[in-house]
Structure 1
C-alpha cells in the first residue's frame, strides 16, 4: 500500500508541475524547490524528486548538480540554433522524400493538419504538439536516411518545448490567430507537385515564422499556488 501511495503521489506531483509548465504558470528558470513542495503537501521529498526526474527526462526541467531543479530556460541563441538546424535538416529530408511519397502519405498529412487546426483553435497544446510532430515526421520518415530521421525527430522534440514555453498562439489572446496549419497545407501541395524550389522557400518561411511567433511575457504563479487546491 505504501508503494502505491508513493507512486500515486509521484504521478500527482508530476502532473501538477507539468500542467503548470504547459499552462505557463511557472516561468522558465523557476527553481522547483523540493522542500517547499514537501512542506506544502506535508509529504517526504522522495516522490517529489521522482516526479522532477520524469519532467527532466521530457526536457521540461533542467537538473543542475549542487544547485537544484529548474524549469528549462533556453537562451535566445539556443532557440535560434535549434530552429536553424531543424530547418536545414527538414528541407534536406523533404527534398529526399519527395520522390517516395504516395497518395496515402498525403491523406495522412491532411488528417494531421485537421487535428492540428482543431487543437490550435481550442488551444489544446498537447494535441497540437502531437499533430504537429506527426505532420513533420510523415514526410521526414520517407527520406530513407535513418540518421536524418533521428536528428529531425530529436529537434522536433526540442523545439516543441520552446513552443510550450513561448509561442504566442497559446497565450489567452484572441487576437493571436493560428497560422501554422495553413502553411502545412501549402507544404502538402508543393510535395504533391514535386516543386522542390518552391518547397524549400516555403519551409524556410515556415520556420522563420515559427521563430517570429515566440515571445516571452506571461503572468506567472508562485510554486505554492500550483498545489493550493490539494
Structure 2
C-alpha cells in the first residue's frame, strides 16, 4: 500500500468511524483545508475518502458548497420509511407463496441474531441481522427491481438509525423489531395479507418513533485527527 493510499484510508476510516459513532453532527461540513492542515497532506486523498463516504450515503457532496455529514429532515426520513413500507408490502404479496421452510428458518435465525445484538448493544450487528430478515422476503418476490430498491432503502434507513436511533442511548426502551419480525413470520405462514399490511405499517411507525432527533454534544472535524 502506498503512502497516498494509507493516508486516504486513514481519513476514510476516521471520518466514517466518527459519523457512525455519532461524534460528528449531521450537517457538519467536512472542510478539506482543516483536514489537510491537521495531517499536512494534499487534498487529493481527502477528496477520495469523502467520495467513498458519499457513495455509501454518509456524506452529501453539494456542488460549490462542499461535503456535509448527511442530515435528513424529519419529513425525508418519514418519506423513506413510508416508501420502504409500501415496497415491502408488495414484496410480501409477491413472495408469500414462494417462501420455503428453509427461508423461515433463516428468518428465525436472524431474529435470534437481532436479540443477541440488542443484548450486547451492538448496533452494526443489529442492523445486519435486521437487513437479512427483510431481504429474504424481498428476494423471494423474484422481482430484481423490487429487490434493488428495497435494499437501497434499507441501507438508507439504516443510516438514519445509526445517526438517530434512541435504543443505543442510555435509559431507552427496547426496539420492537424482533417481536414484529416474529409476528411477520407467523402471518406469512398463515398467508394473512391484510394482517401483514397492518403489521408492516405499525413496524415502520415504531421505527420512526424510535428516532431521537434531539440535541447532542458533537466534535468538530479538526478534533478527529
How many residues were matched structurally?
A: 224
**Pairing partner for 1:150 from 142, 148, 151:** 148
Counterpart-to-counterpart distance in 2, 1:76 and 1:189: 32
Within 5 Å, which residues of 2 pair with 1:34-53? 34-53=32-51
**Counterpart position of 2:95:** 97
Within 5 Å, which residues of 2 pair with 1:131-150? 131-150=129-148
**Counterpart position of 1:14:** 12
Is 1:170 the counterpart of 2:168? The answer is: yes
Q: Give the ranges of 4+ consecutive aligned residues of structure 1 lying more than 3 Å apart after TM superposition.
A: none
Q: TM-score, normalised by structure 2?
A: 0.95
Q: Identify unmatched segments of 5+ residues in structure 2.
A: none
> SS of 1:169's equivalent?
coil
**Counterpart position of 1:29:** 27
Query: Root-mean-square deviation (CA), in Å?
Result: 1.3
Counterpart-to-counterpart distance in 2, 1:175 and 1:59: 26
Q: Is the 8 A contact 1:79 1:159 kept in 2?
A: yes
Q: TM-score, normalised by structure 1?
A: 0.93
Within 5 Å, which residues of 2 pair with 1:1-230? 4-171=2-169, 173-217=170-214, 218-227=216-225
C-alpha displacement at 1:43, in angstroms? Answer: 1.9
Q: Identify unmatched segments of 5+ residues in structure 1.
A: none
Counterpart-to-counterpart distance in 1, 2:205 and 2:144: 26
Q: Is the 8 A contact 1:32 1:69 kept in 2?
A: yes
Q: Is the 8 A contact 2:166 2:172 kept in 1?
A: no
Q: Is the 8 A contact 2:59 2:69 kept in 1?
A: yes
Counterpart-to-counterpart distance in 2, 1:134 and 1:49: 32
